[in-house]
Chains A and B, each alone.
Chain A
Amino acid sequence: MYAFAYQRPATVRQVQSALGKHEDAKILAGGQTLLPTMKQRLAQPSALIDLGHVAGLTAIEKKGRNIVIGAMARHADVATSELVREAIPSLAALAGGIGDPAVRNRGTIGGSVANNDPSADYPAAVLALGATIVTNKRKIAAADFFQGMFTTALEDGEIITKISFPVPAKAAYVKFPNPASRYAMVGVFVSKKGADVKVAVTGASNEGVFRAEGLEAALKAKFNPKAVEGVAVDGSNFISDIHGTADYRANLVSVMTKRAVTKALGK
């Protein structure tokens, strides 16, 4: 790692002020992506502002018809939370499928969402469930938050404090993990609430997580795995690499969507 200054503030306000004092400062949440990136010298922040000791960022609560999860809730916390397992079991299952047990004990929902890795699992849930990202400055709708690979609506000095998930009627997440890295080559989160259906895809596109509108239209007409058949998935801007071509990933989107709908229907 390159050298950096380190601060461990106690409040969100202090985090904001510390970010203002260092150019190129980065927030350290669970560090499960940031630290490996820094170890490889692919990132060189001038300072790390550690959220680990900031109070009030880990709660998981039910507020009205929403499950509100603190930004520093670890993946293991979300996976095992009785509240989440009862209200949005698909979200708990997604959290329990990230990385491995030791990584889940450190990695956080806020860190994953703020980083917006094109293969990360959480962005698919946030987008498909129509969640709201709450920061120290404002509330951002999921639809406005993700703006392409590793890019979000977050401004300088803006810190995610919690994420609010409306409880869906039916939802499921299915991913096709790369056999070696276990990262999602394609992951599809499907949710249904009333007549509304959302399908969010991670791992596939050069633009990061996105909503598959063609699939949504078909599933709004009939929420059934068969409805996915015959819907063309446009893979023209999909990732092509040694793990799979864009066409392969486009096919995986259809297959994972079918599996997710089947799972959401409890079959």
Chain B
Amino acid sequence: MISVSMTVNGKAVSAKIDPRTLLVQFLRENLLLTGTHVGCDTSQCGACVVHVDGKAIKSCTTLAASCDGTSVVTIEGLAHDGVLHPMQEAFRENHGLQCGFCTPGMIMSAIDIVNRKGHDLDEHTIREELEGNICRCTGYHNIVKSVAAGAHAMAGSK
């Protein structure tokens, strides 16, 4: 067992864990933050995307131990005081989900896209940048609309 300490959604956490523990396992099983999903478990589907030190990563392909000392944000860390994050709100408004399984990863990736590419995103850019997130329900159309709307909304909420 090894000890890890990190900040998750603004709260300091530490634990003794098996070195094999993946970040997603640590979030779901130790911290009971089950909003981060495991879809494919092979770093292809993106349901497990969270932010580590502000960057989107696949938490099924990262050891929790490697994240010692970092700041992690999950889907649970986005809404504040009962108010959804603008990107969450945009997915709700634009019907950017059906079953919802991929949605946490989609939203974490979408915010990462805005952080890197700005608030004015064309459809082509959004589709290219969502390469690592797979949805099996929607056909992506409303997801793309949601990301574009969320990106604009994030500019207004600063």
- Using CB atoms and an 8 Å cutoff, list the residues of chain A in contact with chain B: 1, 3-6, 8, 28, 31-32, 35-36, 39, 48, 50, 52-53, 76, 99-103, 105-106, 182
Contact = CB atoms under 8 A, between A and B. Distances in A.
Which of A5, A105, A106 has its CB near the most chain B CB atoms (within 10 A)?
A105
Contact of B43 (A1, A5, A32): A32
Contact of A5 (B19, B41, B132): B19
Interface of B: 2, 18-20, 22, 41-43, 46, 49, 55-58, 61-63, 65-66, 68-69, 109, 112-113, 116, 129, 131-133
Given A102-B57, A103-B132, A105-B56, A35 B41 contact: no
Contact of A28 (B42, B46, B66): B66
The main secondary structure of chain B at its interface with chain A is mixed
A5 B20 CA distance: 9
Contacts of B43: 32, 36, 102-103
Contacts of A99: 132
Contact of B18 (A3, A28, A52, A182): A3
B42 A36 contact: yes
A39 B42 CA distance: 9
Contacts of A36: 42-43, 61
A39 B69 CA distance: 24
A6 B109 contact: no
Contacts of A32: 43, 61
Which of A35, A36, A101, A102 has its CB near the most chain B CB atoms (within 10 A)?
A102
Which of A28, A35, A50, A53 has its CB near the most chain B CB atoms (within 10 A)?
A35
